[in-house]
Structures are given as C-alpha cells and as structure tokens.
C-alpha cells in the first residue's frame, strides 16, 4: 500500500494533504531493527505492508489500524454528541486523525458506542467499526455495564432487593431488573445492567425512593476503566481488552 494511502486511511487528510506531509519530511516510518527506529520517508508513493506498520507524523507515534477501537475516560460536563447543545463534545478530547478517519457515507471518524449523560463520568468506547457498534448496542448480547452510583439518601436492604427484583419505569410496564446490585457503603451503590434505557440508572434509583447525586461507569463486560487513565484521556484497545468486553475471542483487527 502506498504511504500516502496509509495516512489517508488513518485520517490524516486527503491524499493530497497526506502526500504533502510526506514530501515535506513530516513522516517517519519505523524500520525492522531492534529496537525499531523511525526513518524519514519523503516518497509519498513508497510501498509498505500496512498491517503492523508504525509511523510518526510530525513527531507523534501512530500505529496502523484497519479499524480504530479506543477507550475514553469521559469527564463530567461533556456531551457524547458531534453537535453538543450546552457542554463541550467528547470528540474534542480526541486527536483529529481519530475524528477524521474516512468511512462510507457522510459520517467520519470514530463514534461513541452508546452514550453517557453529560454529568456521567467513566468508561466510554469509541470505534469506526459499525458492526462492533451494532453488536455492542444490541439487547440480544446483554453486555453487562457496571456503574458506581452516589446516592442522596442512605441505602438499605429494601432498596437493593427492589432493584434486584425489578422496578417499573414510567414508559415500560415490564419490570427492569439489575443484573447485580451491592450497597458498597451507606451512599455508594454498585449497579450492573445488561440493557440501556434512557436515564436508566437515575430512573431505577428514583423508583426505590432515592436520588442519584453522581454516576460513574467503571466497567463494560470484563473491561475495567484503568486506574491510570485520567478523565479526558484515551487509549487504544488491545486484542485482550476487546475480547474481555464480549467475553469471547475478538474477531477484529487491532493495534498491538
């Protein structure tokens, strides 16, 4: 694959822009030495094996990824929308290549896998793999999501048991149950859900006569939000990370 086409596929601009970056000496490709060293390449049509390729653009390291899979520690006061209404968009936290990766149709770049409310923090997945988004969003797969909930009033066994048995929400006569529920402390509830309804955690807690004061998603499937990933920071997902989310081997092309 030509180097200009590799950069284009990774979101560095049009092919003309990518060719210009290369010809101006802003691109270095890691060679096969031990340890690998970046080597400047000024030929935009130079051929490389894309899979496993690592390179630098303007001094920043990038791995080639056929599809991008990342995790973001969503901070409070941000919106999971390309066109936010009140608070900054989470997409402003990502570098432009991730936002500009070419896709079929009008949509560009990685998209959030589901949404978190503007005041909710924690683990958020983003990808440009439409099949992965559909699989993760489908209620048939029942991917568990763990939330750390700070509540206004003291918790008791009745509230926990009600959430496990099922509560009725305004727009759905069928009871909604927590897959797991634990009162970690007097005002800290750990709630596991396998479906995603609008403001579900807040509405379930309200249904047992309590109120959510703060909400944080700590885990999706078997993937926990790393302790060293600060609010606003993002990280590539590894193959093992993706496998742990679904609880099965990952059948996707990931960076290493």
Q: Which residues are catalytic?
A: 117
* Token output for 116: 């978190």
3-state secondary structure 188-250: EEEEEECCCCCCHHHHHHHHCCCCEEEEEEEEECCEECCCCCCCCCEEECCHHHHHHHHCCCC
Report cis status (omega within 30 of 0) of the bond before 35. yes
What own/partner pairs with CB < 8 Å and gap ≥ 24 does 170-179 have?
A: 170/203, 172/197, 176/200, 176/204, 178/204, 179/144
- Residue 237's nearest CA partner among 79, 12, 104, 67 is 67
- Please give the Cα distance from 127 to 211 (Å, whole number): 33
Rounded Cα gap, residues 91 and 33, in angstroms: 36
Listed residue (36, 48, 44, 40) closest to 12, CA to CA: 44
């Amino acid at each position: 694959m030509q180097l200009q086409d590799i950069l284009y596929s990774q979101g560095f601009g049009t092919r003309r822009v990518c060719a210009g970056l290369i010809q101006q000496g802003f691109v270095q490709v890691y060679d096969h030495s031990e340890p690998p060293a970046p080597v400047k390449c000024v030929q935009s049509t130079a051929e490389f094996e894309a899979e496993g390729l690592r390179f630098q653009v303007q001094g920043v390291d990038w791995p080639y990824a056929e599809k991008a899979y990342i995790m973001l520690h969503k901070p409070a006061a941000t919106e999971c929308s390309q066109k936010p209404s009140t608070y900054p968009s989470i997409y402003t936290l990502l570098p432009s290549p991730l936002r500009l990766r070419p896709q079929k149709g009008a949509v560009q770049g990685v998209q959030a896998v589901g949404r978190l409310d503007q005041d909710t923090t924690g683990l958020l997945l983003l990808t440009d793999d439409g099949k992965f988004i559909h699989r993760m969003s489908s209620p048939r797969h029942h991917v568990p999501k763990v939330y750390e909930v700070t509540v206004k009033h003291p918790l008791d066994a009745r509230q926990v048991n009600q959430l496990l048995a099922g509560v009725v929400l305004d727009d759905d006569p069928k009871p909604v149950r927590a897959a797991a529920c634990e009162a970690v402390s007097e005002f800290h509830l750990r709630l596991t859900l396998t479906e995603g309804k609008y403001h579900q955690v807040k509405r379930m807690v309200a249904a047992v006569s309590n109120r959510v004061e703060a909400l944080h998603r700590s885990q999706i499937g078997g993937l926990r939000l790393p302790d060293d990933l600060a609010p606003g920071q993002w990280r590539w997902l590894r193959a093992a990370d993706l496998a742990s989310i679904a609880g099965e081997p990952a059948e996707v092309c990931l960076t290493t």
